[in-house]
Amino acid sequence: MDEEDLTRLLDKLDLRQKVRLLTGATTWRTAAEPAVALGAMTMSDGPAGVRGEAWDERETSALLPSATGLCAMWDEDLVERLGQLLAAEARCKSVHVVLAPTLNIHRSPLAGRHFECFSEDPVLVGRTGAALIRGIQSAGVAATAKHYVANDSETERLTVDVRVEERVLRELFLAPFEYAVEAGVHVVMSGYNGVNGDTMTENALLAEPLKREWGFDGPVVSDWGAVRSTVASALAGQDLAMPGPHSPWGDALLDAVTGGTVAEEVVDDKVRRLLRLAGRVGALGPAESSSSRSPASPASAAPSCSPGAAPSPMSPAPRDPLPEDDRRRLLRRAVVAGSVLLENRGVLPLATDALTTVALIGDHAATPRCQGGGSAGVFPQSVTGPLDGIRDALGDAVGVVHVPGPAVFAPPPLDPADCSDPRTGSPGVLLRVLDKEGRELCAERRMSGRQLEPPQPPGAHTVEISARLLPGTGGEWTLGVGGFGRMSLTVDGALLLDGEFPRETDDPAVVHVNPPCHYGRVSLAAGTPVHVVARRELAPDTGRAVLVSAAPPRPEPAQAVADAVRAARDADVAVVCVGTTEDSESEGRDREDLALPGGQNALVRAVAAANPRTVVVVNAGSPVEMPWRKEVGAVLLSWFPGQEGGAGLADMLFGAAEPRGRLPTTWGARLADVPVTATTPDGGVLHYAEGLHIGHRAWLREGREPAYWFGHGLGYTTWDYRDMTVDPTDPTDPVEPAGPGGADGLTVRVRLRNTGGRGGREVVQVYLSKPDSVVERPARWFAGYAAVEAAPSENVTAVVHVPGRALRHWCVRERAWRLEPGVFQVLVGPSAGRIALSGVVAAGDRGSG
């Protein structure tokens, strides 16, 4: 859509119509406007999957690895391919805008949303995010770069004011968003937080550098509920207030324009950006203009998701997703690509012909965390966990014994495997909505005790979830109900819980997604069904979410460890699956420590003492302490691996594939060693006092040794770095997407040899240093990478393109990028802490980038 088309459409709208478009029509949709054939645009959370408008277990989604797992791939082609999978899912759900990727930085390992962000390094964040954006937007769906900017922790996230110096902001926290704009991202989301005194929906950073310097031409959408003013946010560059239909804009903005406080040209610019987005995602009717649909949008030719379904001109035309087998293969490949082999003492890969028994130990083995907690959660189409994946890989030839060990997880939501609808007897639960007098307004069978958006017909007063629970084991069961307001829980008519549970937070991730649960215990007999009924009143400002959970009795911790030790001692190999829980790692709150919850450390140590061939699989989206890491045979980090985690794990354990991932973030051995941890504001202010020195930069500055450096990752072979050359980049050579300032950088060629007995993949990393700099700099900083593959004894050359921006610094005085003349060191190796080769390059002042 060209600018003349946009102007013509704007001229058809009066002021009231324009202002109405700037607030969402619903929670997930923008407003439609028939006068210009503009359809509503639907948004959906990402980045691990596309949920769509409904948070309903019957509406499933393909589930990708967590963002940390995507970034650990160091493979932009694969990330782009996964972005295309998200796009196909979006189009089949009539979603125009995917609210991903998250481009905030791993500043502190305590950050609760760490798993949803990519890396500690702005270059790696930027390159990975740009790849995902290209994939999502390849099919006429918009990606969203979020949360602009410095929204890097959860404590007081709705109100915190981040204080950060201009140079630090430019070089670290704004940089990934610049990559996104260069990649053509269609939408940017402003965060809840403030930066240097102004909340982001009212912050001058929306105009400069985002819109003016970088030329971002799409709309800035608010995080949900982040617009809190009328005039200040309108003048700052905020374009769309979500959710709707109510916001601080509406009639108040209309009055501000008619009263002269806000110029109508400001509103016009916002509407123009929304119309531009609509043209790009196929939400403008074809009657308006032959150019009103982006040439890149294949909407009119795309096949429908269901036979006979005609695509609406007001929505993205659905596309057939990948066939199920192809989708599962891609997601299985993604697990292998992002998993990081941290330690290996000759144990992996396991030779299946030498195995008779495998002991699989830990709660996470049977019920893994396939995704992080919070607003990005989806209901996966299916989940293959470690127990299923390993049993499928080994078949009947090898015995697999599962011992859960000490309990780690809170009681899970009621599951159709254990309960049935008390009316029909079908697997699942009965959900009823009642009026104030207790009369039934609606009822339906659902498949989970976790209902985040139950129906709310007129007159709705109470949500009731009931089930016939069939205990598989006898003893003292734990049952719970979660939410806010007045709640009760009965078992066979006996009251187990009853009370008023006040809401103590405004955080939407807690109120609407993960409200606290309250528990009681009751003795149940094996095989004797009981009728469980939970009720929750829908009082104002308490949200709608309700959870009903149940857990059978478990052995005491000492007995559970003893059972695990016995199984490990009798097996050829022990695989211990450990990890975090939704209570220890989730959106809405930061972590208090890096310890694995429950008795997992004691479990690992006891099993390793019983069997030296112990492999530990770490199922976490963020760094955790592993005090036993040198006591076990191997440590494999799977992150939150998505729906095919168990299948990919089996591929790696038994040698069908090599773990290909590398750490996107430095992992400390202990929280006390980590140089930057602060997430708690002081008087509402969070100072980024560390400046440029976060991640590996901070570890190098402090002279400390982490457990594992940024970039670390082992494979099933070994590599010898032979030699390197450094040359200015030839502008006539094709250069991989390297980010801003890539035209006049360096080309580093590294020759290396596979010295092991298997083919493998190596990620060659380039760092820069300038020891004699008169400008404050990190000891060294990441500049680029390239991955190579080689057969045994094969030589291969990695070609790494270093963008010109990597040599420059932001000059606050001149407000421009500047290159300090002199000699830069070029350092090459497999991680930030392991440099294999070095060279130098002389640089002169080439002006601004």
Catalytic residues: 223
Cα distance between residue 431 and residue 446, in whole Å: 7
Contact of 330 with 85, CB cutoff 8 Å = yes
Crossing angle for the helix pair 3-11 and 264-281, to the nearest 10 degrees: 120
Cα distance between residue 52 and residue 55, in whole Å: 8
List Cβ neighbours of 79 (8 Å cut-off, separation of 6 or more).
70, 73, 128, 131, 132, 135
Identity of the residue numbered 283: A
The three-state secondary structure class of 162 is: strand
Residue with tokens 């769906």: 141
Cα distance between residue 465 and residue 430, in whole Å: 6
| 750 secondary structure, DSSP code | E
Helical segments of 504-547, H only: 508
Contact of 765 with 831, CB cutoff 8 Å = yes
Contact of 509 with 583, CB cutoff 8 Å = no
DSSP string, 243-289: S-S--SSTHHHHHHHHTTSS-HHHHHHHHHHHHHHHHHHT-B-TTS-
- Burial class from Cβ neighbours inside 10 Å (0-12, 13-18, 19+) for residue 516 reads middle
Strand order across the 719-728 sheet:
719-728, 746-754, 795-802
Cα distance between residue 391 and residue 388, in whole Å: 5
Cα distance between residue 189 and residue 210, in whole Å: 11
Residues facing 519 on adjacent strands: 480
Residue with tokens 């196909």: 88
The three-state secondary structure class of 365 is: helix
Cα distance between residue 422 and residue 419, in whole Å: 9
Cα angle 109, 111, 113 (rounded to 5 degrees) comes to 120
Q: Could you give the maximum distance between any two Cα atoms of the chain, in Å?
A: 82
Cα distance between residue 449 and residue 481, in whole Å: 9
Residues facing 810 on adjacent strands: 817
Residues facing 148 on adjacent strands: 190
**C-alpha atoms less than 13 angstroms from C-alpha of 502 in its C-beta half-sphere:** 1
DSSP string, 400-456: EEEE--S--SPPPBP-TTTEE-TTT--BSEEEEEE-TTS-EEEEEEES-SEESS---
Contact of 661 with 72, CB cutoff 8 Å = yes
Cα distance between residue 600 and residue 595, in whole Å: 9
Closest by CA to 97, choosing from 218, 269, 260, is: 218
**C-alpha atoms less than 13 angstroms from C-alpha of 414 in its C-beta half-sphere:** 34
Identity of the residue numbered 420: S
| 210 secondary structure, DSSP code | I
List Cβ neighbours of 77 (8 Å cut-off, separation of 6 or more).
131
Identity of the residue numbered 310: A
Cα distance between residue 297 and residue 279, in whole Å: 9
Closest by CA to 538, choosing from 486, 461, 464, 452, is: 461
Identity of the residue numbered 563: D
Contact of 292 with 284, CB cutoff 8 Å = yes
